[in-house]
Structure 1
Amino acid sequence: MIDNKINGVPSFLEEEEQEFNLREYISRYFRYWYLFPVFVVLALTGAFFYLQITQPVYSTKSSILIKEEKSIGGSQGDILTEMSSEFGGNKVVENELEILKSQTLMEQVIKELDLDVSYTSKDGLRTVNLYKRSPITLTAEVITPLGLEEPLKIHMVDSTHFRFNNEDKVFQVGQRFNNAWGAFVINRGKASEYTDVEVHFSDVKALAEAILGRLSITQPNIKSTVLELTYEDTDVQRSKDVLNKLLDVYVQASLNDKNTEASNTLKFIENRLGLITEELGDVEKNVESYKTNAGITDISSESKLFLENIKENDAQLNEVNTKLSILESVDNYIQNAGEGAVAPATYMIDDPVLVSLLTRFNELELQRERYARTTTSKNPLLETINTQLEGTRQSIRENVQNLKRGMAVSKRNLENINNRFSAGLRAIPKKEREFVGIKRQQSIKEELYLYLLQKREETALGYAATVSDSRLIDAPVTTFQPIKPKRAFIWLGALAGGIAIPVLLINLLFMLNNTVQRREEIEKVTHSSILGEVGLMNTPAGAPADDNIIKMTSRTAVAEQFRALRTNLQYLGDGTCRILMFTSSIGGEGKSFVSVNLAASLAYSDKKVLLIGLDLRKPTLHERLSLPNKTGASNCLIGQGNYEDYIQQTDVHPKFHVLTSGPIPPNPSELLSNGRLPVMLAELRKEYDYILIDSPPFGLVTDSALIAEHVDATLYIVRFNYTLMDHLKRIGELHKARRFQNLSIIFNGVNYGIGYGYGYGYGGYGYGYYKEEKSDKAVGSKLKKLVGMN
């Protein structure tokens, strides 16, 4: 079927966007069906070796509770409640999370577990980790840079002897060695089936960073203080040990901080208690001496009254003095904090604001010391704590100054009261008055001494009862199945990759392929109609040339296509085109094949046909027809004899005559333009129904342009998967410029396998209706034809 009626008027097709054809898109992949099983097998093989080589990774989880506050009952509840406010305090969960992920704690874990020295061995394609099951253990003293880069290979000869690397010398375990890897001692390990061991040395800091990269700490519930620790490792026991040791190191660091705080407070109380003890001893000796020397046995009622008043007033005055002393000590501590100053006690400070500020200051000081051990001085958290410390320090100093001013006023008032009571005591005998003064000092010292003893016991009790602010909830538990690699995902990924890679390659091939693949491409670029199309004719290798010529009784698809092409000739021009020229862009596109078979088809329809070979530069027509080429068209064009003397009859059909090209002339273009060609064609038109001219490729030489001036129509051959897309543009220019009269296109060599997949003409149904060529009886020929490889 011809898409557009072919006539003398040029027909231009509008360039419209082609609708997406799903069947066409899918079917083109069947041309390269063999790539899919190849890449699927390669991908699955790669997945198999990947799973064999890769060590499985397991996930170990643990959880801890960060205690926010203490709740202690019992007979000591009041004392310990106060102690918890001094030595405990709430913890910020985010801060504890950062501490658990600190480099310092992880380095300590590595050192205590000796993780900087690891042992591996080969088990087939896989590398096996020998954590806690290595036949040897190595204690490193010095590790060189080479040791950190290259593993130390040890081959066990027996349980007590081994060799280094590939050396022949045998060594015994328990010796100290010095070599390029460093200085170390190798001891006997556990019984193992592995004899070849690789010892890997790691830098502690780098290893800590790597382990922290596999450690994740999360807070599952924002409203709780529970932290969940997850660690991934190829060795189950090592992952459990890392988490257990990390929690142990974290708890011990927390206990050390709390014990340091309690120890400083206890030292302060002990110092104060020593001073009060000495002062109380002196006062008691004075009382004893005075009573002995003065002989005082009783005090009068009046003296007792003044004594009680003065005693009460003096107690208040001493309390004020003591508080002033404590405020001085607080002021000194604040000024000298961080320089080894002993933390002051806050038990006699009744101002809640100052107590809160001192507690806050101590907590910030402990946090600064803790972060200073785990972070750098430029850490934003440490700078924030330092800023808070300075603000709290300034607030404490201002508060202390205010309290000191208030207590100074109270002191002056109490001193004035004492003066009034002293005036009343002047009437009391001198001895009795002196005794009252001594007794008053004794009472004050006794009360202060008892108070310090009580505080010392409370502090010691809190020191002894120090517990961690965190509690283990779930011990480390490892997943039963490895989390990496996911075998099902790897297999599915390999299968998908085995399918995706050929798809990408095929798409790339189609993108890079600049040859004609579809009929629509010809119509869209050239704006020319396609007179017909010819499928790929399968001919066995080494077959005679005449096997490429269809027979009269042939019922193959190609034979039917030539019959259809013969029928479509009536639509050329006004239907009277009898002299037809065959040309193409380059050689090898099938001009001679199409012209010979179309001539044969015309002869089978009882038409007298003459096929003229005017490809005077590279003639091949005589070879296809197995005819001699000693004389021919070149002789006619130079005026040697009559053309009737050179026309030959073929064995194909009696009405199929051929005028071969003859000897190759030195000047083909001049021969074609000397004027004899139109005369010869005019005379031959009278004798033959059709004259077919096999001309040279138009894209290479100008001979076809010279011949086209004397023909009725030009049939331009475009070959499937051979003609370049750029050549189609040139055909479009020829059609637009009308340089060739009645220009039409024949689409030759179309592969109607499934890969072509257009479903029109003979491609969609021909092979299911017409008889196939008996050209390839080998096993698999039908499959090749199915996928379009023939």
Structure 2
Amino acid sequence: MNLNVPAPQTSKTDNDMELGRILGLLFDAKGLVISLIVLFALVGAAYAFFATPIFRADSLVQVETKTPKNPLADATASAMMPQLPPSRAEMEIMKSRMVLGRAVDLLNLDIRVEPVRVPVIGGFLQRHQIAAPAFAQDWGYAWGDDHIELAGMPVAGEYLGKTFTLEVLDETRYALHYRGERLGEGSVGEEASFLGGAVGVEVESIAAAPGATFKLTHAQRVVAVDQLRDNFGVAEQGNGTGIISWSLTDPSPALAERVLATIGDIYVTQNIQRQSEEARKSLEFLSKQVPEVRGELAGAEQQLNAYRSEHDSVDISMETKSVLDRVVNLESQLNELEFSEAEISRRFTPSHPTYAALLEKKAQLKRELNTLEERINGMPETQQEVLRMQRDVSVNQAIYVQLRNKVQEMQIAEASTVGNVRVLDDSESFPRPVSPNKIMIIALATILGAAFAVAVVMLRAMFNRGLESPDQLEQLGLPVYAIVPKSDDQNRLSRRIRRGGRSQSVPAGLLAWHRPLDVSIEALRSLRTSLHFAMLDSTDNRLMITGPSPAVGKSFITANLAAVCAQNGQRVLVIDGDMRKGQMHKIFKGPSEDGLSEILAGRHTLEEMVRPVESIEGLEYLARGVVPPNASELLASERFTELLAKASERYDLVIVDSPPVLAVTDATVIGKRVGTTLMVARFQLNPPKEIELAMRRLDTGGVRVKGAILNGLERKAATAYTYGYYNYSYR
């Protein structure tokens, strides 16, 4: 025989014991843990299996650094203005409503057609082209590849975002419903009007069985664009490379590829239009300047010719010509800066470094020009006048030639505009879905199941504060007379009954007779020896076995303790003192009638009601009898006192199985009439506070608890690590 009993251990630290207890709790609940993990894994697998797969189409474009098309900025602005990577701005343009909204309009993405499918498995049936069985033809669901093509759905503003239901009548006709009301019928290829023209529907084709239903929704344009933007991904490959990847996800790979290709076409087209528009505006500006400069040039030439005619063709000296050349050069540079300033002022404020540098250079050229003006003022008057007129002619001539050249360049630029974007990889969808990731989902579900299982086990342990060690009873001042291990053989002898809505195990046989060598019976033999010394100072040979609550096993302890005492040669009487719910008659396989309640009612005597246990000599029992309405009053009567006295005279040991202490007052009434009381506590069922409360209630009634019996001890990893085990062997 092996008997395992917890014993305190002091060699482990508190942290080690806490970790060991947690691991022990998980090991003890391994069945629950494994079941929850498997359940979560199965749920995750089912979701991954039935979830709608999402496909991805991608494309690759290159945004090149923008080449300046404005000839007015070529000389200075292009060198002074920093060239930022164009990809960031272009990425925002790609996701703008200007681009995505145009795609929504072209492809009618604001019109959603969703087939009404069988719940949960409808998508699976559609993907595997499973047609409707005969018994499900009239269920109103779309099966297999049932679908319709919608050419348009114009609706009034108040019906934007509202859902309509289209029911297929046959291959060419359909009915439209709204909020359960039938609005009317329509035919394929014709636009039908409903609700007084507020809603229009044009069905292009029907490929569905009669009775199939579809949900139609015309979403607001901004909502459709926002939904498209959520599925549209834009990312730059590297930093500042200008290589941008596009991606679009959708349950339909063909639709994802088509939508992404449309977005690409719209974006490239608008890019070219934008570049051409810039060149056109610059050409308009130059074209307006050419006539003005030409007029100024003609005027300057006329003045110069008139002055020379009036003063007989005055020529200028070499020194004056050198000054003139320098002045013309400075005027040309200033003119270039004027055009550049006009370009830069549209992009930056005067405080910007680029703009400030231009202004500084312009001020420097003006200072040099002022210096030359002072030299000119020191020349003879005739030379000054000729020099100024010649300067006006030369400057205007240089500006005119420059403008003509820029006009020709801009005309060429406008005609050859191709944009700074090119598509490297056309839109193409992947054959395998990108989500759901089945392996990832199952793994996450398994991890979640494990975490949930741990939480359940820890919460159950947190709220279950039942006794786990005899030390806990001794700390309450109760000596532990016996520790009775849980018996697997007794479980096989017991049967389950429902009481108060709960399932409860009830002994249906005497373990001491069926399995006399069971570890539980050996523990009761040890109790028999301890009980002999415990009752030496008792006033009688009467013993009450009680417990704080039901289902602690006091009836099992009472019956089998009586059996081992009878096997030791004693004459033993067992009295079922629980006249409400006593089960002693089931252990001894007899009826509950004709027992204690009949004796206390005065209808029968002890000799008439006592029953022998045929399998064990010297053991007799008294059943509970018919359930009385006043059990406590009967136990408090004089007849019960006389019954106990008479039983003490006839038997060596009288054991009374009482009701739970905290349930009724019967245990206190019985306890005052017996010399010894033992409290049965169930392993991991009764918390110490419950035991203490039961002791107080008995003590208030004048009943002193002699000791305790820890029943139903199980070898568990959690308690084994905390308290250790003593091991006793007997052969």
TM-score, scaled to structure 2: 0.70
> Relative to 1, partners in 2 of residues 1:84 and 1:661: Cα closer, same or farther, differing over 3 Å?
closer
Deviation, 1:247, is: 4.0
1:85 aligns with 2:87: no
Structure 2: any 5+ residue segments left out of the alignment? 128-141, 498-505
Give the SS at the match of 1:548.
coil
Aligned residue number for residue 598 of structure 1 = 561
Deviation, 1:602, is: 1.6
1:153 aligns with 2:166: yes
> Relative to 1, partners in 2 of residues 1:283 and 1:634: Cα closer, same or farther, differing over 3 Å?
closer
Deviation, 1:485, is: 0.9
Task: Letter of the 1:468 partner, please give it.
Answer: G
Deviation, 1:416, is: 4.9
Deviation, 1:219, is: 3.1
1:64 aligns with 2:61: yes
Give the SS at the match of 1:64.
strand
8 Å contact 2:170–2:209 — kept in the other structure?
A: no
Alignment of 1:346-495 (within 5 A): 348-349=333-334, 358-364=342-348, 407=369, 410-411=372-373, 413-414=375-376, 416-417=378-379, 419-421=381-383, 449-494=400-445
Aligned residue number for residue 173 of structure 1 = 189
| Distance in structure 1 (CA, Å) of the matches to 2:621 and 2:390 | 155
- Equivalent in 581, 593, 618 of residue 544 of structure 2: 581
> Relative to 1, partners in 2 of residues 1:392 and 1:260: Cα closer, same or farther, differing over 3 Å?
farther
Give the SS at the match of 2:528.
helix
Which deviates more from structure 2 when the two are superposed, residues 661-670 or residues 208-217? Answer: 661-670
Deviation, 1:217, is: 2.7
8 Å contact 1:599–1:610 — kept in the other structure?
A: yes
Give the SS at the match of 1:148.
coil
Deviation, 1:150, is: 0.7
1:568 aligns with 2:527: yes
Deviation, 1:531, is: 1.1
Deviation, 1:57, is: 1.4
Query: What is the percentage of aligned positions where both structures have the same residue?
Result: 17
Give the SS at the match of 1:457.
helix
Aligned residue number for residue 209 of structure 1 = 226
Alignment of 1:178-197 (within 5 A): 178-179=194-195, 182-184=198-200, 186=202, 188=204
| Distance in structure 1 (CA, Å) of the matches to 2:507 and 2:108 | 86
Deviation, 1:599, is: 1.8
After superposition, the CA RMSD in angstroms is 5.9
- Equivalent in 107, 120, 125 of residue 101 of structure 2: 107
8 Å contact 1:563–1:601 — kept in the other structure?
A: no
Alignment of 1:495-574 (within 5 A): 511=462, 528-533=479-484, 535=487, 536-539=490-493, 548-550=509-511, 552=513, 554-555=514-515, 561-572=520-531, 574=533
1:48 aligns with 2:41: no
**Alpha-carbon displacement from aligned partner over 1:143-170 (angstroms, at most 9, x marks no partner):** 4333422145263733x65443466734
| Distance in structure 2 (CA, Å) of the matches to 1:670 and 1:485 | 73
Aligned residue number for residue 693 of structure 2 = 730
- Equivalent in 212, 215, 236 of residue 219 of structure 1: 236
8 Å contact 1:156–1:162 — kept in the other structure?
A: yes
> Relative to 1, partners in 2 of residues 1:738 and 1:452: Cα closer, same or farther, differing over 3 Å?
same
| Distance in structure 1 (CA, Å) of the matches to 2:292 and 2:507 | 131
Deviation, 1:400, is: 5.9
**Alpha-carbon displacement from aligned partner over 1:21-56 (angstroms, at most 9, x marks no partner):** 5785245436769x938x94686367436643x332
**Alpha-carbon displacement from aligned partner over 1:525-583 (angstroms, at most 9, x marks no partner):** 7754251426345447699x99623565x33665x523431333222474664543222
1:236 aligns with 2:195: no
**Alpha-carbon displacement from aligned partner over 1:213-249 (angstroms, at most 9, x marks no partner):** 2333333322533333333222333333444444444
8 Å contact 1:525–1:732 — kept in the other structure?
A: no
| Distance in structure 2 (CA, Å) of the matches to 1:287 and 1:630 | 150
Aligned residue number for residue 786 of structure 1 = none
Task: Letter of the 1:564 partner, please give it.
Answer: A
| Distance in structure 2 (CA, Å) of the matches to 1:628 and 1:61 | 82
Deviation, 1:618, is: 7.5
> Relative to 1, partners in 2 of residues 1:523 and 1:358: Cα closer, same or farther, differing over 3 Å?
farther
Task: Letter of the 2:92 partner, please give it.
Answer: E
| Distance in structure 1 (CA, Å) of the matches to 2:391 and 2:355 | 38
Aligned residue number for residue 176 of structure 2 = 164
Give the SS at the match of 1:349.
helix
| Distance in structure 1 (CA, Å) of the matches to 2:668 and 2:640 | 14
Give the SS at the match of 2:46.
helix
Deviation, 1:452, is: 3.2
| Distance in structure 1 (CA, Å) of the matches to 2:592 and 2:611 | 9
8 Å contact 1:600–1:652 — kept in the other structure?
A: no
Give the SS at the match of 1:65.
strand
8 Å contact 1:759–1:765 — kept in the other structure?
A: no
| Distance in structure 2 (CA, Å) of the matches to 1:530 and 1:348 | 115
> Relative to 1, partners in 2 of residues 1:118 and 1:727: Cα closer, same or farther, differing over 3 Å?
closer
Which deviates more from structure 2 when the two are superposed, residues 445-454 or residues 190-199? Answer: 190-199
> Relative to 1, partners in 2 of residues 1:265 and 1:411: Cα closer, same or farther, differing over 3 Å?
farther
| Distance in structure 2 (CA, Å) of the matches to 1:156 and 1:68 | 58
> Relative to 1, partners in 2 of residues 1:199 and 1:631: Cα closer, same or farther, differing over 3 Å?
closer
Give the SS at the match of 2:115.
strand
Task: Letter of the 1:231 partner, please give it.
Answer: L
| Distance in structure 2 (CA, Å) of the matches to 1:452 and 1:672 | 133
| Distance in structure 1 (CA, Å) of the matches to 2:76 and 2:201 | 50
Give the SS at the match of 1:484.
coil
The size of the alignment, in residue pairs, is 673
| Distance in structure 1 (CA, Å) of the matches to 2:244 and 2:676 | 89
> Relative to 1, partners in 2 of residues 1:444 and 1:123: Cα closer, same or farther, differing over 3 Å?
same
> Relative to 1, partners in 2 of residues 1:671 and 1:358: Cα closer, same or farther, differing over 3 Å?
same
1:716 aligns with 2:679: yes
1:94 aligns with 2:75: no
8 Å contact 1:636–1:643 — kept in the other structure?
A: no
Deviation, 1:445, is: 6.2
Give the SS at the match of 1:580.
strand
Task: Letter of the 1:548 partner, please give it.
Answer: G
Give the SS at the match of 1:169.
strand
| Distance in structure 1 (CA, Å) of the matches to 2:108 and 2:6 | 86
Say which one has the larger Rg: 1
8 Å contact 1:100–1:250 — kept in the other structure?
A: yes
Aligned residue number for residue 139 of structure 1 = 152
Deviation, 1:696, is: 4.7
Give the SS at the match of 1:607.
coil
Task: Letter of the 1:44 partner, please give it.
Answer: L
Give the SS at the match of 1:455.
helix
Aligned residue number for residue 131 of structure 2 = none
| Distance in structure 2 (CA, Å) of the matches to 1:457 and 1:652 | 126
8 Å contact 2:167–2:176 — kept in the other structure?
A: yes
Task: Letter of the 2:405 partner, please give it.
Answer: Q
| Distance in structure 2 (CA, Å) of the matches to 1:60 and 1:620 | 73
**Alpha-carbon displacement from aligned partner over 1:346-367 (angstroms, at most 9, x marks no partner):** x753777x77655533444xxx
8 Å contact 1:58–1:479 — kept in the other structure?
A: yes
Give the SS at the match of 1:421.
helix
| Distance in structure 1 (CA, Å) of the matches to 2:547 and 2:608 | 30
Deviation, 1:270, is: 2.3
Give the SS at the match of 2:334.
coil
TM-score, scaled to structure 1: 0.66
| Distance in structure 2 (CA, Å) of the matches to 1:635 and 1:123 | 73
